[in-house]
Chains A and B, each alone.
Chain A
Amino acid sequence: MTGFSKEAVEKLSAVLNEPAWMREFRLQAWEVYEKTPMPTTKDEAWRRTDIRRLKLDEIGPALNGFDASGVDVPAYLGEQLTADKAGGVLVEVDGVVQHYELSDALKEQGVIFCDMHTAVREHEELVKKHFMTEAVKVTDGKFAALHGAFWRGGVFLYVPKNVKAAAPLHSALWSAHGKTFTHTLVVLEEGAEAIFIDEYASGQGDAPGLHNGVIELLVRDNASLTYAGLQDFGQNVWQFNHERARVGRDARLEWVTSMMGTRLTKAFQTVELDKPGAWARMSGVFFTTDRQHVDLDTQQNHNASDTVSDLLYKGALKGKSRSVWQGMIKVLPGSQRIDGFQANRNLMLDRTSRADSIPGLEIEADDVRCTHASTVGKLDEEEVFYLMSRGIPRHTAVQMVVQGFFDPIMARIPIEGVRERIFSRILEKLG
């Protein structure tokens, strides 16, 4: 068993046969990691998430090469969810490619869609320019630094200027060994458009697992990105994610997040509205059961005038599970005509679950329309009774009320297959 160390960084870089600059990048990230203290509940962002029981070095990095072709990946992963057949499909096992296809139409358009390691080798300049340079930085936190040093696998999507990707893209990352450090980097140049579904999942393992991921979404001026990140890891996995999008002038970002799995998730999700006309909508769904713990920090940063952000996160909780949502809308001084909305609504299906919902606004401008709402409610037995009084059995009635709870968020998700996938998982988890 190997823990995290400088030697391990060097070994990983050698196993991956990386260019010197990436090796350097990793080593620098490792230095930052070493200098950054492990977060504790004394840190404001970590107040409600205690990770003392995480034994990071017992999990360790993913260093070994292996043959992914023999690993059984569940059929649902990478299955077509969009109405149009995906033009690019990438299936990885713990960062190693198992299946890859890219249509000629996309190739002809100059769309790059490949695993992150191929990107480092074959699109060096593009990766060098964008990889953890403007969205997520290794200095963003202990786990951003760990990721910078030990990232492995993930996906690179690049759409050139004024290109509307001819078909949706779809990647599915399956973890067989419980150690995943995936990196998603999306760059949409000016006026580009794409739809991208990014799935992460694993089976239920016994030993503690780790997902230490980074998602970077760069949406340049006039570009339009629909990004759906669907997470469904086993409940043995600790997840620490840093996710950040930058949205340019008159650009649009439709960002969907679904979180169903993990033992514990701590994710930072930030959207930066950098220039006038930037528009972003964040729609999040989670469903926790058993002893799952999900802690989401969302941030909507209005860095320019005439920007719009609209966040809605909805979660249901069962058993002894717990959720935390901490949201922040920041408006920089001098930005005017800002619309910023955030709402988090939680449905407690058991008395033993707990949801904390903490909205926040930091506004240093006047001409601003910002609202926030947060609710934690129980399953309404009056609603269940009303449905039952018309002959609907209790189980179905509860399903309908829960479905009703999620309906407003489903209505925001622009891809029917994604809605169906999320909804069928909700029903499964409801039991």
Chain B
Amino acid sequence: MTVALEIKNLHVSVNDQPILKGVNLLIREGEIHALMGPNGSGKSTLAYTLAGHPAYEPTAGQVIFDGKDLLEMEADERSRAGLFLAFQYPVAVPGVTLAKFLRQAINSRRQAENPDDKGISIPEFRRLLKEKMAMLNIDPKFAGRYLNDGFSGGEKKRAEILQMATLEPKIAIMDETDSGLDIDALRIVAEGANRLHETNNMGVLVITHYQRILNYIKPDYVHIMLDGRIVESGGPELALQLEEKGYDWIRAKYGAAEEA
């Protein structure tokens, strides 16, 4: 059975303030979706809500992931179930090295399956990490650095994709992974995501403001979010249209209705 992420009429508040106002979206394994929309329209709110951040409170609607009620699951369960969020703003965790963190992430998966699991062996982990780091052109020295601590913007984004490549999710949300990446890094990161898409049939939701990343990670569907709703969905041509015309026509078309 293919895994799907199904978002139905999702309403979310932050500090009692409604941000998402009825989002509907269906992403299946193997599909690539792009989510675009003006600043503050609620894209990251959707991403955080799906990842289970406690500040984002679903007030109505449903999210079904792989047949399970996602909103009932803790953040760690969601991750182990195969959902991954590459954060727009990854958090630094001083004192915890990238390697230690990734190893624990792998072991937490194994131990959730089998409480007696002894965890991945150090040589096996080293091999895995080395391979993934090489694929993403990340200096092996980063393994020993504190997680995201003092990483440049682009380094953080690459570290997010390293985590994605290591954890091999079924569906990944990439929240503005393209911002802060130089042109070469963007290509490398996109290739990494495409490889997971091709080899593991990973489904992807790419949140972005720019067409550029979509030249590499080619979406099957493009959605536009405005004021907490997905107002327009279409094929790849929709992104090109936005690049050309901006959001005014969307606002004119849907924002007016809002005011009325």
- Measured between beta carbons, the chain A residues less than 8 angstroms from B91 are 380, 382-383, 385-386
B109, closest chain A residue (CB): A391
Q: Would A396 and B74 count as touching, CB distance under 8 A?
A: no
- Measured between beta carbons, the chain A residues less than 8 angstroms from B76 are 388-394, 397
Partner of B101, one of A387, A394, A408: A387
Asked whether B3 is an interface residue with its Cβ less than 8 Å from the other chain, the reply is no
- Measured between beta carbons, the chain A residues less than 8 angstroms from B53 are 385, 389
- Measured between beta carbons, the chain B residues less than 8 angstroms from A382 are 91
Knowing A401-B93, A403-B95, the reply to whether A388 touches B75 (Cβ < 8 A) is yes
Q: Would B96 and A400 count as touching, CB distance under 8 A?
A: yes
Complex alpha-carbon distance, A380 and B96, angstroms: 13
Complex alpha-carbon distance, A390 and B104, angstroms: 9
Complex alpha-carbon distance, A392 and B112, angstroms: 10
Q: Would A404 and B94 count as touching, CB distance under 8 A?
A: yes
Q: Would A390 and B93 count as touching, CB distance under 8 A?
A: no
Q: Would A386 and B95 count as touching, CB distance under 8 A?
A: no
Complex alpha-carbon distance, A72 and B124, angstroms: 44
Asked whether B90 is an interface residue with its Cβ less than 8 Å from the other chain, the reply is yes
Kindly provide the distance from the CB of A395 to the nearest chain B CB, expressed in whole angstroms. 10
Q: Would A404 and B79 count as touching, CB distance under 8 A?
A: no
B104, closest chain A residue (CB): A392
Knowing A400-B101, A403-B96, the reply to whether A391 touches B54 (Cβ < 8 A) is no
Complex alpha-carbon distance, A397 and B94, angstroms: 13
Asked whether A4 is an interface residue with its Cβ less than 8 Å from the other chain, the reply is no
A408, closest chain B residue (CB): B95
Asked whether A407 is an interface residue with its Cβ less than 8 Å from the other chain, the reply is yes
Complex alpha-carbon distance, A383 and B93, angstroms: 6
* Residues in A383-431 with C-beta less than 8 Å from chain B: 383, 385-394, 396-397, 400-401, 403-408
A-B contact count (CB 8 A): 85
* Residues in B92-119 with C-beta less than 8 Å from chain A: 92-96, 100-102, 104-105, 108-109, 112
Partner of A390, one of B92, B95, B167: B167
Partner of B85, one of A387, A389, A403, A405: A389
Q: How large is the interface on B (under 10, 10 to 19, 20 to 34, 35 or more residues)?
A: 20 to 34
Kindly provide the distance from the CB of B98 to the nearest chain A CB, expressed in whole angstroms. 11
Asked whether B80 is an interface residue with its Cβ less than 8 Å from the other chain, the reply is yes
Q: Would B96 and A389 count as touching, CB distance under 8 A?
A: no
Asked whether B51 is an interface residue with its Cβ less than 8 Å from the other chain, the reply is yes
Asked whether B52 is an interface residue with its Cβ less than 8 Å from the other chain, the reply is yes
Knowing A389-B79, A396-B104, A400-B101, the reply to whether A381 touches B93 (Cβ < 8 A) is no
Partner of B95, one of A389, A396, A405: A405
Kindly provide the distance from the CB of A249 to the nearest chain B CB, expressed in whole angstroms. 36
Kindly provide the distance from the CB of A320 to the nearest chain B CB, expressed in whole angstroms. 25
Asked whether B146 is an interface residue with its Cβ less than 8 Å from the other chain, the reply is yes
Kindly provide the distance from the CB of A393 to the nearest chain B CB, expressed in whole angstroms. 5
* Residues in B54-88 with C-beta less than 8 Å from chain A: 54, 74-76, 78-80, 85, 87
Kindly provide the distance from the CB of A367 to the nearest chain B CB, expressed in whole angstroms. 31
Knowing A392-B108, A394-B76, the reply to whether A401 touches B96 (Cβ < 8 A) is yes
B81, closest chain A residue (CB): A391
B85, closest chain A residue (CB): A389
Kindly provide the distance from the CB of A288 to the nearest chain B CB, expressed in whole angstroms. 20
Q: Would B74 and A394 count as touching, CB distance under 8 A?
A: yes
Complex alpha-carbon distance, A324 and B51, angstroms: 39
* Residues in A364-391 with C-beta less than 8 Å from chain B: 380-383, 385-391
Q: Would A400 and B104 count as touching, CB distance under 8 A?
A: yes
Asked whether B163 is an interface residue with its Cβ less than 8 Å from the other chain, the reply is yes
Kindly provide the distance from the CB of B157 to the nearest chain A CB, expressed in whole angstroms. 14
Kindly provide the distance from the CB of B119 to the nearest chain A CB, expressed in whole angstroms. 12
- Measured between beta carbons, the chain A residues less than 8 angstroms from B108 are 390-393, 396
Q: Would B94 and A391 count as touching, CB distance under 8 A?
A: no
Complex alpha-carbon distance, A391 and B104, angstroms: 9
- Measured between beta carbons, the chain B residues less than 8 angstroms from A383 are 91-93
Q: Would A391 and B79 count as touching, CB distance under 8 A?
A: yes
Nearest 3 interchain pairs by C-beta: A404-B95, A407-B95, A391-B79
What are 24 A-B interface contacts by the 8 Å CB criterion? A383-B92, A386-B87, A386-B90, A389-B75, A389-B79, A390-B79, A390-B101, A390-B108, A390-B163, A391-B76, A391-B79, A391-B167, A392-B104, A392-B105, A393-B108, A396-B104, A397-B76, A400-B101, A401-B93, A401-B95, A403-B96, A404-B94, A405-B94, A407-B95
On B, residues with C-beta under 8 Å from A are 51-54, 74-76, 78-80, 85, 87, 90-96, 100-102, 104-105, 108-109, 112, 146, 163, 167
Q: With contacts A380-B91, A389-B51, A396-B108 known, what are 17 further pairs, Cβ within 8 A? A: A383-B92, A386-B87, A387-B104, A388-B74, A389-B87, A391-B105, A391-B108, A393-B74, A393-B112, A394-B74, A396-B104, A397-B76, A400-B101, A401-B93, A405-B95, A407-B96, A408-B95
